[in-house]
Structure formats: structure tokens, C-alpha cells
Chain A
Amino acid sequence: MAAAAELSLIKPVNPIRPFGRPVVRHPHLKFRIAAAAAAMAPQKPKKAGKTSIKETLLTPRFYTTDFDEMERLFNTEINKKLNQAEFEALLNEFKTDYNQTHFVRNPEFKAAADKMQGPLREIFVEFLERSCTAEFSGFLLYKELGRRLKKTNPVVAEIFSLMSRDEARHAGFLNKGLSDFNLALDLGFLTKARKYTFFKPKFIFYATYLSEKIGYWRYITIFRHLKENPEYQCYPIFKYFENWCQDENRHGDFFSALLKAQPQFLNDWKAKLWARFFCLSVYVTMYLNDCQRTAFYEGIGLNTKEFDMHVIIETNRTTARIFPAVLDVENPEFKRKLDRMVEINQKLVAVGETQDIPLVKNLKRIPLIAALVSEIIAAYLMPPIESGSVDFAEFEPQLVY
């Protein structure tokens, strides 16, 4: 779940939070991180752990769902239509464990981290922390699903467990990366202290599918770009991305199979509206998040907006293989709308940084939020593209491949 970070917008009830830089929500977290760092690297000077960490790094959310409903959905007794062949094929793929020996560190990491100074160092730490939290969030959810589905569908349960293996590996690797910067995330503490966002199973499917696929496209794009431009290869973790993101891609395939096994989540007008909603949420959140962190992308030689648009276009094309409708992101108007959202968001951030009293801040925010919401609605209402797996297409027999 490389890009769980991208999902924060999905909580439509409170549109402020995902866009603005939220005020400190867990005041002790900073302390915990610093403390963990001190414990991990006692030989280092104390100030090493004090790298200022903005709360926004915790935007990636933790998810929980209705596990009873999940059990019913994948109960092979109740749901006879389940395509077990697809699940067994996926189980084989996950058992193969392509990356069993991939995540091995070398001395390059520490040396590269030591060389990195100033703002780039700070933004790198934030990148590692966000990514680690996102991967860890996937680990927790998949682990629990693996545990809960053991009885009703052992195949699906085992896939979840193997995916949680991958996520744990990714999170651990990122956390070791943090140790190069004399930091460490206290994952045990995170598990207990973080708020969990509840999603019904069908929303978990849409959201995690997108999260995995967009994660794949982000990682592979960074990898291929850095392979061609090694002068920007400032930290060796990127060299691992090519193999790494194949895990993300496979995880996405699994959610694709889960959705195909529940056609009621794919085949009516409501499904189309939700599919578009989730696409938009994920794309907009990523775009706004990344545009607040251009230093990171520029630091590795990428143009943030071009990078994001590429990732959005490719993710959308991939998603069109399963979602019943996707957004017309290749229409130039879509990008224009995203860019206007970035401008409004910057103004929102600026309001948050003023010295005004909270009431004044909130009053100043009202018109900006209204503008943002109207841009988002306008993007949502743009004519969509009908899509989906050919396995469900009524006119499939007429298709030419």
C-alpha cells in the first residue's frame, strides 16, 4: 500500500483536513519518534533525533473495515460465484515470493544519508516517514484480514497474509532507511496511537486498489527516471523500486480479483459514481500533497506536476481495466482544474500560517473552501469514460483484441 497517503481526501465530511496543513493532532508523537531514535542510535549525539517533523507526515491513514461483512463476502458457501481459480493463481504468485532476497541493505545507504544536508535532508526524512507509515498501514489491514478470513476462505486469507508480509518488509526497509538519518518510527506505538478510518468493504476495495496501483506507477516512474538520470540518485533506496513496485502491482491485481468476485460493486450506476469519486479523491490528494513537496521531486530531478500527471494518467488507464467508470484525466481541462485547486490550497495553507485567531482563520477559509469544493465537484462532473474488465463487457464477443 505504497500510497495510502493519497487517500486522505476520501473523508468527504471534513474537506479542510486533507488540504490544509493540519494542526498537531498527536502532540506526543514527535516526542515518541525522537525517543525511538535515541533508543535506536544511542551512540549518536542526542540532537540527532530532534529533526523537526511536521505533523503532516502522518497524513497516511490507517484503515479498518467491517470484518464480519468481509467474512460473508468471501464465504465460499454463501458466494458460489467466487472465481477461486483467479485467487489460487494469485496465491501461487504471492507464494513465489519474488522479492524474498531483494531487500538487503548495503553501506551506500548510510554514506548517502550523511551526505544529504539542509532542506533536502529534511524532506527526505519526511518522505521516508510518510512512505513507511503508508506501507505499515497496509500491513496492519492485510494482517487483520488474513486472520479474520482464515475460516471462511483460506485462499483469500493466505493472500492477505502474504501481502502483509510484503508490506511489513517494505515498511521495515523504509524504517531502516530512517535509521540512516538517526531516526526511527515507533511502529508499535503508531499501531496503538493512530486513529483508524473506517471503510465499508467495497470502499476498501476501491481505495486499496487505487492505492496499490498508483503506488506502482509512482515507484516505477521514479525508478526509470533515476535510471536514466543517475546524477539525481541521491539515496540508494530508489534502486530497489523496480522490484519493489512489482509487489504493489500484484497487490492491486488481487483487489481487482476481489472486485471481480463481487460484481455488485462494479455493475450499477452507483458503482460508477463511487469509482469516479475514489479516482478523483486519490488523484487530487496526491496532486495537492506533492505540490506542497516540490522540493523533494525537484531534488530527484523531477518536475512535480509532470510527474504527477504521468502517474495519474497511467493509473487511470490501469484502473480502467476494472472500475466501471474512470475520469477523463487526459482532457487538458482536468489538469487545469487540478492546478486551480493547488492555487486555492496554497492560499488555504497561507491562512493557516498567519497569526490570526482561530475564528478569523476559519472565516478566511470559508470562501477558499467553497472555491475548492466547487472545483472538485466540477472535476467530478466532467464527462467520465466508461470502462471495466472485458470479462464483464456485454459486447465482449464483438471486441477485437
Chain B
Amino acid sequence: MVAPATLALRPWLVPAPSRADRARSLHTSPLLLPSTSVHLQSNGGATKLFSTCNRVSSIRAVAVDSDQLGSSEPPQQIEKPKKYYFVVANAKFMLDEEEHFKELLYEKLRLYGERNKEQDFWLVVEPKFLDKFPDITKRLKRPAAALVSTDRPWITFMKLRLDRVLSDSFDADTLEDALACNPVDLHFEKPEIWTAPYKKYEFGWWGPFLPPPSI
């Protein structure tokens, strides 16, 4: 009973206007890649959901040499660069279509809680680090969502599980550098056919995995 279907969303999360449903995409390409029915809306209309990204950036701008960071971040993260591994695909695939992905993340979060392990994996919507990977961005439908972790074998496992994702790694001096993102408004279209005898996981289930607001 780890991941209740109705999640306790973080306070800044605004539920989707309608329940986003999975689009069926098996026939769209010979390799069954998910279709794009993601709408990239103008930034002017960005919801509260991703304005957190803005907040993160602005805090970072003023906090680089202040002590504010020290309270939530182990000092070595500021001092020496750390390696971050990621898998990335379009947000529709990651957050809307792959429902087992949600189960996996909640299972991991539950385990970390039980074993008092500090979280080392995050979901980043439209991550800024993508700018360093032109070979990836030219093959990526937008908006994109990345799963980022310092745990390399786990990201290898997630690549095996998700398959339709691109994977790489980068160095970052701080966690907030690693997880910085651009604000974007997500909207997933309802699927035409829904064969399951249950409802889709609620839009916004990924809230607990977004970069923490403290950074």
C-alpha cells in the first residue's frame, strides 16, 4: 500500500483541468514509439506547477555564496562536482504513458523512507542540462522529462525498463545546478481508448520527485 492512487500532492501543485489519459500509440511507428500529443504551451500561461522551476533558479542566483544552501546540502556537493546519470524522453511518455514508472518511483521512495536513505533520484521537466547535449535534444520531442540520479546502476536499470529513452551523464557542482529546469506548462491529451478497469494515475503524480523547493 505504498502508492495510493490519490496522491497527497505538494501544496504548490495544481491538479490538471481534466484527467489526462494515456494516448494509444502502438501503430504510429514501426518501433512503437509513443506518439506526441503533448502540447507545449506558451510560457506566459505557465501554471504554478512549474513556476517552482523559476523559484529554484532565482533562489540559486542569490544563494550561491550564501549559507542558505548549506542547510539542505551536504558541503561536498558544493565543493566538488558530482556525476549525474539520466534517462530522458518526452514528458508524455515519461509522465503520462508509462504508468509502471510511477509505481517504480513510489516503491523506491517508500524504500528510502523505510531505510532512512537520502533521496538520490529526481524527475526534472525540461532540464537545463539538456543544452549540453545537442545530439539528444535534436531527437527529443518537447517538453521533455528526465529521470536524474547519482546512482549509475539504477539508471542503467531504468534504461532497460523504459527502453524508449536516451541516456547519458554529466558533472555538476551542486544539486541545484544539476536539477535546474525551464518552466513549462504540461498538458496531456486524453486517450481515445482506455481499456483498463481502473482510472489513470492522477496528473501531477510526479510532484514528490521534482527538485526540492529548498534548492
Q: Does A180 contact B (CB under 8 A)?
A: no
Complex contact B111–A228 (CB within 8 A): no
Give 1 or 0 for each of B11-44: 1 = CB within 8 Å of chain A CB. 0000000000000101100111100000000000
Min Cβ gap A81→B in Å is 16
Min Cβ gap A233→B in Å is 12
Complex contact B163–A88 (CB within 8 A): no
Secondary structure of the B contact surface, majority rule: loop
Looking across the interface, which residue of chain B has its beta carbon closest to that of A312? Answer: B195
Q: Give CA–CA (A256, B197) in the complex, Å.
A: 27
Quick one: which of B99-141 are within 8 Å of A by CB? 100, 103-104, 107-108, 111, 114, 139-141
Binds B, one of A183-191, A193-201, A273-281, A313-321: A313-321
Name, among B26, B31, B195, the residue most crowded by chain A CB atoms within 10 Å (CB to CB).
B31
Binds A, one of B151-159, B175-183, B203-211: B151-159
- How big is chain B's contact interface, by range? 35 or more
- How big is chain A's contact interface, by range? 35 or more
Q: Give CA–CA (A227, B103) in the complex, Å.
A: 14
Instruction: Give the residues in chain B near A399, CB-CB below 8 Å.
Output: 31, 33, 139
Q: Give CA–CA (A314, B24) in the complex, Å.
A: 11
Binds B, one of A89-97, A126-134, A357-365: A89-97
Complex contact A246–B104 (CB within 8 A): yes
Complex contact B31–A242 (CB within 8 A): no
Binds B, one of A29-37, A170-178, A380-388: A380-388
Give 1 or 0 for each of A237-266: 1 = CB within 8 Å of chain B CB. 001001100100100010011000000000
Instruction: Give the residues in chain A near B156, CB-CB below 8 Å.
Output: 85-86, 88-89
Complex contact A387–B140 (CB within 8 A): no
Q: Give CA–CA (A289, B114) in the complex, Å.
A: 39
Known: A243-B2, A385-B26, A401-B139. A390 touches B164 (CB 8 A): yes
Q: Which of B26, B31, B153, B199 contacts A393 (CB 8 A)?
A: B31
Looking across the interface, which residue of chain B has its beta carbon closest to that of A222? Answer: B197
Known: A221-B196, A225-B198, A388-B31. A89 touches B160 (CB 8 A): yes
Give 1 or 0 for each of B88-107: 1 = CB within 8 Å of chain A CB. 11100100000010011001
Min Cβ gap B42→A in Å is 22
Looking across the interface, which residue of chain A has its beta carbon closest to that of B166? Answer: A401
Complex contact A98–B107 (CB within 8 A): yes
Q: Does A310 contact B (CB under 8 A)?
A: yes
Instruction: Give the residues in chain A near B30, CB-CB below 8 Å.
Output: 386
Min Cβ gap B117→A in Å is 10
Q: Give CA–CA (A89, B85) in the complex, Å.
A: 13
Complex contact B198–A89 (CB within 8 A): no
Residues of B within 8 A of A (CB): 1-3, 5, 24, 26-27, 30-33, 88-90, 93, 100, 103-104, 107-108, 111, 114, 139-141, 153-154, 156-157, 160-161, 163-166, 195-199
Closest CB pairs A-B (n = 8) = A224-B198, A89-B156, A89-B153, A89-B157, A321-B163, A310-B195, A401-B89, A225-B197
Query: Could you pull out 27 A-B pairs where Cβ atoms are within 8 angstroms?
Result: A86-B157, A89-B154, A89-B157, A92-B154, A92-B157, A96-B111, A224-B196, A225-B197, A228-B5, A228-B199, A239-B1, A242-B103, A253-B157, A302-B197, A306-B195, A313-B195, A314-B195, A317-B26, A317-B32, A330-B26, A330-B27, A390-B33, A390-B163, A393-B31, A395-B31, A401-B89, A401-B140
